[in-house]
Structure 1
């Protein structure tokens, strides 16, 4: 088979390498073209060198191109994959730093909450530019696979306003299933059969079976509490499991910032998080992790390049959805996964316009969702709170309506648990002014926001959060990796 795949934001080097390697695990895909595009020529040069090394080592006739001209890269592409982070780590740092001044402590801040909403404001205009290019220069009927966060907002905008065939992809469901398989003593995750449904990062294991035997709440709670690691790392998720009756797919740290109950008071945060790794609730944990990863890759690039020169092992193909979806669409081999699409009745007790994450099957006829699912009422209520925020956030991002943006942030569960309306209004003004270069739709609103900030009497504080860690140096990272190797 010969067709073109374009990857936007290909400078996300590690993730792009994984997607590319997965694609080459499909025997029929050894003659494809992969077009890389990014705003950073430096990052493009690095990832192109790595992918060409993989191609050379395996002797495949795959064509790899790299171009900072996105429109040129998208010409004739049948599939377009996006993994962009608009504003990079500089804007992301503001997503964490500014809300902390108002008492809002986020672990990740890329889905909802103050940080995720502003992330969406930066991303959505760019996503719509992608969609315009796809409509005009990509292959007819091209499919857009969005990996970028905020997943639901980006996918919502691409479908409702971009008018492009779009599916959102995430790996939270797979990671949750791996945890459950481990605590139940399964030899592999293949022994587990499950249905997850909800919205991205708030998906719920509403039906769970191990080798055909249904697993209930009590057995799952007991298994998690008995596990020597997860019992400490997933305290908040276990508490939600006890109260809701079903397990959330999302990590302890992520889940904590979508709910109004666990991060509302600094003295409470320590009860529910674990500091063994960023993902379990550390203040600004993913920002620290992303910064360290970028620094490490820049320093150790020769090592990454050398490691690319080895044969691909199809047995080590990852569980990221993209390659499996393309394989199913192109070959007809059926693939079952969990996908982000417009609801339209798939989940009976969520709105039709919402972007939901739920089971589906892929074959030559496309992505076919399993419809008629009803969430437990508590799960639906939690999802609804986020959906309402997402809807307002998308419409604000498209219209440039700063008042609607403020209302979206005001209705966010964690923000509402911590901040007053006056604080929210000032915080949004401050974030929009700080990130103005990435928010063209708010250009007319920035001068007035600056004036309000100059006159404001709302007090803020200089706070780094309840559980902040410093970014580690390359030397510290190297010493830690060396210690881990010795321990193994």
Structure 2
């Protein structure tokens, strides 16, 4: 087979390498072309060198090109994969820093909450630019695979306004299933069958079977509470499991941001999180992790390049959906996964226009969703709160309507539990002004926002959050990795 895949935001070096090697695990795909594009020539150069080394080491005919000209990369592409982070770590730092001044403590801030909503405002204009280019220069009926957060908002904009065949992809379901299989004592995750449905980062394991045997709430709670690690790391998820009756796919830290109950008071935050790793609830945890990962990669790049000389091992193909979807579409080997698409009746008790994440099957005819799923009422209610915020956020981003943006932030569950309307209005003004370089749709609103900020009497505070850690130096990271290696 011969076709072209464009990866937008290919400077996300580690993830691009994973997607690349996964796809080349499919024997029929050895002759395809990968077109890499990014705004950073530096990152593009690094990832192209790594992928070229993989191609050379495995004696493949695969073609790899790299350009900062996005339309050139997309021209003739059958599949477009997006891994973009608009504004990079600079804008992301403001997504965490500014809400903290108003008492809003986020672990990740990339889905909803104040940070996720502003992240969507930065991404959506760029997503629509991608869609325009896809319509104009890509292969007819090209498929857009979005990995970028905020998943639901980006996918919503691409489908509703970009008018491109789009699917959103995430790995939260797979990771949650691996946890469940482990606590239940399965020898392999493949022994666990499940139906998992909801919206991205709020997806729920509504049916579980281990080797065909149904697993109920009480057995699952007991299994998690008995686990020596997860009982400490996933305290909040276990509490939600007890109250809702079903387990959430999302990590302890992520889930804590989407609910109004666990992160609204600093003393409560430390009760529910675990500091053994960023993902369990640390304040700004993903920002710290991303910063350390970037610094580590820049410093240790020669090692990454050397590792690219190893043979591709199909047995180590990851469970990221992209390669499996492409394989099913091109070879008709059916693949079952969980995909982010417009609802249109898939989940009976969520809105038709919402972007849901639910099971589907892929073959030559495309992605075929399993329709008629009904969520437990508590799960649907929790999803609805986020969907309403997502809808307003998408509409605000399209229109450049700062008043609607403020209403979206005001209706966010955690923001509403922590901040007053006056604080929300000022916080959004401050975030829009700070991120103006990445918010072209709000250019006309920035001068008035600056004027309001100059006259505001709303008090803020300089606060690092309830559970903040400093970014570790390269030397500290080396010492930690050496200690782990010695212990293991």
Please state which band the TM-score falls in when normalised by the shorter chain: over 0.9
Paired residue for 2:234? Answer: 234
Paired residue for 1:469? Answer: 469
Q: Distance in 2 between matches of 1:102 and 1:313?
A: 49
Q: Distance in 1 between matches of 2:185 and 2:475?
A: 38
Paired residue for 2:180? Answer: 180
Paired residue for 1:448? Answer: 448
Paired residue for 2:15? Answer: 15
Q: Distance in 2 between matches of 1:54 and 1:72?
A: 23
Paired residue for 1:83? Answer: 83
Following superposition of structure 1 onto structure 2, how do residues 377-396 of structure 1 map, counting pairs within 5 Å?
377-396=377-396
Q: CA shift at 1:486, angstroms?
A: 0.2
Paired residue for 2:60? Answer: 60
Paired residue for 2:371? Answer: 371
Paired residue for 1:275? Answer: 275
Following superposition of structure 1 onto structure 2, how do residues 10-409 of structure 1 map, counting pairs within 5 Å?
10-409=10-409
Q: Distance in 2 between matches of 1:316 and 1:462?
A: 46
The alignment partner of 2:248 has SS state of coil
The alignment partner of 1:480 has SS state of helix
Q: CA shift at 1:202, angstroms?
A: 0.1
Q: Distance in 2 between matches of 1:300 and 1:70?
A: 28
The gaps in structure 1 that reach 5 residues or longer are none
The alignment partner of 2:276 has SS state of coil
Q: Structure 1, residues 279-301: CA drift from partner, whole Å, max 9, x if none?
A: 00000000000000000000000
Following superposition of structure 1 onto structure 2, how do residues 476-487 of structure 1 map, counting pairs within 5 Å?
476-487=476-487
Q: Distance in 2 between matches of 1:148 and 1:312?
A: 26
Q: CA shift at 1:152, angstroms?
A: 0.1
Paired residue for 2:423? Answer: 423
Q: Distance in 2 between matches of 1:41 and 1:270?
A: 41
Q: Structure 1: which 4+ aligned runs deviate by more than 6 Å?
A: none
Q: CA shift at 1:405, angstroms?
A: 0.1
Q: Structure 1, residues 88-143: CA drift from partner, whole Å, max 9, x if none?
A: 00000000000000000000000000000000000000000000000000000000
Q: Distance in 2 between matches of 1:44 and 1:118?
A: 26
Compute the TM-score of the two structures, normalised by the length of structure 2: 1.00
Q: Distance in 1 between matches of 2:108 and 2:311?
A: 35
The alignment partner of 1:340 has SS state of strand
Q: CA shift at 1:395, angstroms?
A: 0.3
The alignment partner of 2:247 has SS state of coil
Q: Structure 1, residues 446-471: CA drift from partner, whole Å, max 9, x if none?
A: 00000000000000001000000000
Q: Distance in 2 between matches of 1:80 and 1:57?
A: 26
Compute the TM-score of the two structures, normalised by the length of structure 1: 1.00
Q: Distance in 2 between matches of 1:177 and 1:123?
A: 30
Q: Distance in 2 between matches of 1:253 and 1:349?
A: 27
Root mean square deviation, CA, Å: 0.2
Q: Distance in 2 between matches of 1:187 and 1:51?
A: 34
Q: CA shift at 1:379, angstroms?
A: 0.1
Q: Structure 1, residues 385-442: CA drift from partner, whole Å, max 9, x if none?
A: 0000000000000000000000000000000000000000000000000000000000
The alignment partner of 1:257 has SS state of helix
Q: Distance in 2 between matches of 1:176 and 1:282?
A: 19
Q: Structure 1, residues 334-382: CA drift from partner, whole Å, max 9, x if none?
A: 0000000000000000000000000000000000000000000000000
Q: Distance in 1 between matches of 2:13 and 2:267?
A: 38
Q: CA shift at 1:310, angstroms?
A: 1.1
Q: Distance in 2 between matches of 1:269 and 1:58?
A: 49
Q: CA shift at 1:9, angstroms?
A: 0.1
Q: CA shift at 1:20, angstroms?
A: 0.1
Q: CA shift at 1:308, angstroms?
A: 0.3
The alignment partner of 2:341 has SS state of strand
Q: Distance in 1 between matches of 2:311 and 2:284?
A: 37
The alignment partner of 2:374 has SS state of coil
Q: Structure 1, residues 182-202: CA drift from partner, whole Å, max 9, x if none?
A: 000000000000010000000
Q: Distance in 2 between matches of 1:128 and 1:103?
A: 33
Q: Distance in 2 between matches of 1:340 and 1:96?
A: 26
The alignment partner of 1:381 has SS state of helix
The gaps in structure 2 that reach 5 residues or longer are none
The alignment partner of 1:445 has SS state of helix
